[in-house]
A and B are shown apart, each in its own frame.
Chain A
């Protein structure tokens, strides 16, 4: 069934599409005009003609897709493209992440991209934007996901690091290279000891510092003496686990920082000493609060626990449906999503693309 003609955003094989504006949002196939919510690999892909992204994300976008035709827009400023008024608003997910607000013919739609409602020292907080239709992610869209305040989690990381350092054991935290790693760096107590950044993390750190985000000084492993390493905190991508690079730290404590660490099964599967529950996505209550704050009577759900969230929203009186997307694809580099229980769009396959 074709979606209602007046919808400002529809799902097409290439990505989410705005018919009056003739542009796509975070498309997964090459298109001429792409609006980008943030620079994670499943949302920002190479090969489009023109890119529009937030000004704050310029350096990380360039880091990811290189020298593309990129137009940037500061948060809150609007441009008009083919009669559609477009503005970007902080999503609180990672540096430069934005919700995309579209206004046309008296209707306002907001596409959330990925977002979290809690604080993050590396990016401005999520800004609720009033709209008629809200397109939301649902990565952690089940009531079992409830985050502790980040100061509690950083406190846990600090305690663990201190305890390891006290017995001369290096502490390795695995965190997604872009976003989570910088949040960990910005959140821990840098006074405890030396911080070592894996090369992939250090490269993103540079883009963050150049964008004006304060991060503590880190060293490369080659700059550290063996004694220094014993009390150090190492921040590395999850792919480094079990690699030759990690073996140089000898017997060490290891941990993973991710929302998925909320689940005991996911924790134990990784065979790590610790799992720190630190997510850049909204938890269940965060999603519901964000949805309520938009005032939107209609909500369209993308990647995550789509089916339960849609059903819940309908039971609460919302008009709700799902978009099938390729965000959060587990074959993509996004390790944050690699432990996902459902692939995106998976549970949405038997649902109408728009409400009846």
Chain B
């Protein structure tokens, strides 16, 4: 446990890729397979299941520290992380014992699940009393099910491949399923992962997804239009669909196995030849067109797929790449070759649950730029531009080929900061999570003064916490502190003084929200220190956007 806690602390402490790689190599070269199996599982993004309810962990730590609930809360709101708060408030340990990681997990932590609260509390007290601060932090993270580590999966992969002396690409594919919840890591699974002889494709493991980069330069800088394959950029769930033998697997990019969630798509596997892997996007497809992401959300996470929902939110996999055909790995073939084979495979299928994501054939960049303006009316996010000769890479690589996402500009609105809350992790102790409001009415246009009996009011409609630089966050944090008028636990209400330009991707009418609307991916584009609060936008502007999304077609904003 100590070695892994040290590794975790080293990864957390350093910002240098080299230092992180060295720490990983050092760990993997020394660790026993039974421990490394778990370490890898966590480092690669595997989530430990929560073994003890947070309330018990908290209460036990609080009692050991001898502090009241409110003081623990104060600490938590300053630290911004429960496990870290616990590690810091506990009294110093009276013993130091170092058990192997797998013993900790398998014999101690997993056994805590479902035990009576008194037994759990007694066990925790004993454990904490034999660990130092870094190990206590790690333990609290592991039992709380909130373990995350500050290292890119790719970095872990490369370090392990180097330590084990096997090909990183092969390891990447094997690792795709290592962290799913269907099996428990053990020494055998770990050794099999690193065995150069072991056959890779024994099961329905997906290939590492090839990811796109945002296009920031003008599109003309990409050179000849003819060198690029262009598709609409769908707003759905990226997925790989695998057929092997009589079985199929549907994997999301987040490595969730989606089998059973979208039975319409599962059913199409019979149309594919054996050993075929398709890359595409799951969307709700109705009335011959894609529906807003909010429709798809109604199906996400729903295990019980009813007839009603199949009718109301039917889905389709829009196929745009072919990674394997009849057992042949096509990822090394040029994009246009893969596309050609995909069209031969999918085009003739009548099933609407598996269809081709069409190529956009506008002849030049100018025509594409014009067509892109229709994105919103078509319910898409813009274009995907794929290098015609490019190979299918792994992750965010650009060395064998490149995909650009050329998205439309977001909707924008000038909103007013009304509430702020402290952030977590590296933003702990700073007010970084904001609630924004717009006016409930337009100001009078005829120049008359507002009716003092019926002043305009600010209606909160969105929360946002991304888009600002660290320096901007500090400025807003200061403004929040200077203008606080009320507090509700960790939340501060502020005098409305700051206007922020927000961007968002989609908008829906929503009876669940007080403002009557819900926006998708709101984030801060610009701080408008210059703009008086009275000149912020009103709810009317947002309602105006409702008409232009998806279903109703034209009426695009200029």
Interface segment among B208-216, B340-348, B392-400, B422-430: the answer is B422-430
Of all chain B residues, which has the CB nearest A265? B428
Q: Which of B401-439 contact A (CB under 8 A)?
A: 423-430
B29 close to A (CB within 8 Å): no
A346 close to B (CB within 8 Å): yes
A146 close to B (CB within 8 Å): yes
A266 close to B (CB within 8 Å): yes
A61 to chain B, nearest CB (A): 30
- B residues near A146, Cβ cutoff 8 Å: 88
A142 close to B (CB within 8 Å): yes
What 0/1 readout, one digit per residue, does chain A (249-275) give for beta carbons within 8 Å of chain B? 000000000000011111111011111
What 0/1 readout, one digit per residue, does chain A (297-328) give for beta carbons within 8 Å of chain B? 00000000101100110010000000000000
Q: What total count of A-B pairs have CB within 8 Å?
A: 78
Partner of B429 from the list A143, A266, A273 (CB cut-off 8 Å) is A266
- Once bound together, how far apart are the Cα atoms of A343 and B492, in whole Å? 14
What 0/1 readout, one digit per residue, does chain A (62-79) give for beta carbons within 8 Å of chain B? 000000000000000000
CB–CB B81/A143 < 8 A: no
Chain B residues touching A, majority SS: helix
A159 to chain B, nearest CB (A): 13
- A residues near B68, Cβ cutoff 8 Å: 315
B477 to chain A, nearest CB (A): 10
- B residues near A262, Cβ cutoff 8 Å: 88
Partner of B425 from the list A265, A274, A346 (CB cut-off 8 Å) is A265
- Once bound together, how far apart are the Cα atoms of A161 and B478, in whole Å? 35
- B residues near A268, Cβ cutoff 8 Å: 12, 150, 425-426
CB–CB B426/A144 < 8 A: no
CB–CB B78/A264 < 8 A: no
- A residues near B79, Cβ cutoff 8 Å: 144, 263-265
A317 to chain B, nearest CB (A): 14
Partner of A263 from the list B16, B423, B428 (CB cut-off 8 Å) is B428
- A residues near B478, Cβ cutoff 8 Å: 330
- B residues near A339, Cβ cutoff 8 Å: 429
* Most B C-beta atoms less than 10 A away, residue of A144, A272, A330: A144
What 0/1 readout, one digit per residue, does chain A (39-81) give for beta carbons within 8 Å of chain B? 0000000000000000000000000000000000000000000
- Once bound together, how far apart are the Cα atoms of A269 and B12, in whole Å? 12
What 0/1 readout, one digit per residue, does chain A (87-122) give for beta carbons within 8 Å of chain B? 000000000000000000000000000000000000
CB–CB B71/A143 < 8 A: yes
Of all chain B residues, which has the CB nearest A269? B426
What 0/1 readout, one digit per residue, does chain B (74-104) give for beta carbons within 8 Å of chain A? 1100111100110011000000000000000
- B residues near A346, Cβ cutoff 8 Å: 481
- Once bound together, how far apart are the Cα atoms of A22 and B81, in whole Å? 47
Interface size of A as a range: 20 to 34
Of all chain B residues, which has the CB nearest A260? B429
A3 close to B (CB within 8 Å): no
CB–CB B429/A341 < 8 A: yes
A314 to chain B, nearest CB (A): 12
A251 to chain B, nearest CB (A): 10
B14 close to A (CB within 8 Å): yes
- A residues near B67, Cβ cutoff 8 Å: 143
What 0/1 readout, one digit per residue, does chain B (1-39) give for beta carbons within 8 Å of chain A? 000000000001111100100000000000000000000
CB–CB A308/B429 < 8 A: no
- Once bound together, how far apart are the Cα atoms of A265 and B75, in whole Å? 13
* Most B C-beta atoms less than 10 A away, residue of A145, A264, A274, A305: A264
What 0/1 readout, one digit per residue, does chain A (125-150) give for beta carbons within 8 Å of chain B? 00000000000000000111110000
When A and B form their complex, which 10 residue pairs have the shortest distance between CB atoms, in order from nearest?
A265-B428, A268-B426, A144-B88, A341-B429, A308-B74, A144-B75, A143-B89, A341-B78, A269-B426, A265-B426
Q: Which residues of B contact A (CB under 8 A)?
A: 12-16, 19, 65, 67-68, 70-71, 74-75, 78-81, 84-85, 88-89, 150, 423-430, 470, 478, 481
